[in-house]
Amino acid sequence: MNEIVDGMNEEEFQTVFTEEQFNKILQMIEEKTLSLENAILLLKRIGYCKVLLDWRIYGFNSSLLRGRFEKMIDDEEEKNEEKNESLLIDLCECYLFLNYRFSSELISMCVPCLLKVALKKEENEVSQKEVEMALLALSNIECFFMEQKLYLNEIKEIIQYHQEYHNLTRLAYQTAWRFLVSRLWADNSLEEAIVIELRFAREAIKELEELSKCVDWKRKEEDGRIEVIIIGRWLYDISNFFLLFRSWNEELVGLVCSIVQVLRASRCNYGEICFECIRSISKAAINRCVNVEGFLKCAAVDAVFERIQQPTLGDKIAFHGFRFFMGVSRKLKEKKKEEMEEVKRKEMKRMVFEKLEEEGYEDTIISFFETVEHFKRNYAHFFLKNISDYHWCQTRNLVPNPELANFCVI
Tell me the pLDDT tens digit for each residue of 20-30. Answer: 999 999 999 99
Residue 402's pLDDT is: 42
Please give the residue that has the higher pLDDT: either 317 or 68: 68
Alpha carbon 11 to its chain centroid, in Å, reads: 21
Q: Work out the average pLDDT over 237-249.
A: 85
Cβ(361)–Cβ(329) under 8 Å?
Answer: no
Confidence band for 217, pLDDT divided at 50, 70 and 90: very high
Segment 55-92, tens digit of pLDDT:
989 999 999 999 999 999 999 999 877 889 999 999 99
- pLDDT of 211 above 80: yes
Report the phi/psi class of residue 169: left, alpha or beta, with left for phi > 0 and alpha for psi in -120 to 50: beta
Rounded average pLDDT over 155-161: 98
Compute and round to an integer the Cα radius of gyration of the chain. Answer: 24
- pTM score, whole prediction: 0.87
Query: Cβ(364)–Cβ(306) under 8 Å?
Result: no
The pLDDT of residue 371 is 56
Q: What is the pLDDT of residues 324-337, one digit of tens each?
A: 888 887 877 777 76
Mean pLDDT, rounded, for 248-258:
88
Average pLDDT, the chain: 85
pLDDT at 141 over 60: yes
The whole-number pLDDT of residue 386 equals 34
234 versus 404: which is more confidently predicted?
A: 234
Cα(130)–Cα(118) distance, rounded to whole angstroms? 8
CB atoms within 10 A of CB 306: 15
Q: What is the pLDDT of residue 365?
A: 62
Confidence of residue 361 (pLDDT cuts 50, 70, 90): low
Q: What is the pLDDT of residue 355?
A: 72
pLDDT at 381 over 80: no
Q: What's the rounded mean pLDDT across residues 198-213?
A: 97
| Rounded Cα distance, 356 and 364, in Å | 10
Q: What is the pLDDT of residue 367?
A: 62
For 143-152, 200-209, 243-252, which range has the lowest pLDDT when averaged over its residues?
A: 243-252
Query: Is 213 in contact with 262 (CB distance < 8 Å)?
Result: no
Lowest-confidence region among 267-271, 372-376, 386-390:
386-390
CA–CA separation, 317 and 306 (whole Å): 12
Smallest Cα–Cα separation from 102: which of 140, 134, 45?
140
Residue 330: the pLDDT is 80
- Please state the rounded mean pLDDT for residues 90-100: 96
pLDDT at 2: 75
- CA 204 – CA 52 distance, rounded (Å): 18
Residues 268-274: contacts with CB under 8 Å, at least 24 apart: 268/217, 268/218, 269/217, 269/218, 269/219, 269/220, 269/223, 270/217, 270/220, 270/223, 270/228, 271/312, 271/314, 271/317, 272/232, 273/228, 273/231, 273/232, 273/235, 274/307, 274/317
**How much is the pLDDT for 35?**
96
Measure the CA–CA gap between 142 and 69, rounded to whole angstroms.
21
> What mean pLDDT do residues 336-341 have?
73
Burial of 270 (0-12, 13-18, 19+ CB in 10 A): buried
Among residues of the chain, what percentage have pLDDT more than 90? 58
Report whether 5 contacts 43 (CB < 8 A).
no
Predicted pLDDT of residue 363: 67
Which residue would you say has higher pLDDT here, 307 or 91?
A: 91
Quick check: 405 pLDDT over 50?
A: no
pLDDT higher than threshold 60 for residue 103: yes
Sorted by where each begins, the domain ranges of the chain are: 1-101, 260-410
Give percent of the chain above pLDDT 70. 85
Range in 35-39, 117-121, 154-158, 353-357 with the lowest mean pLDDT: 353-357
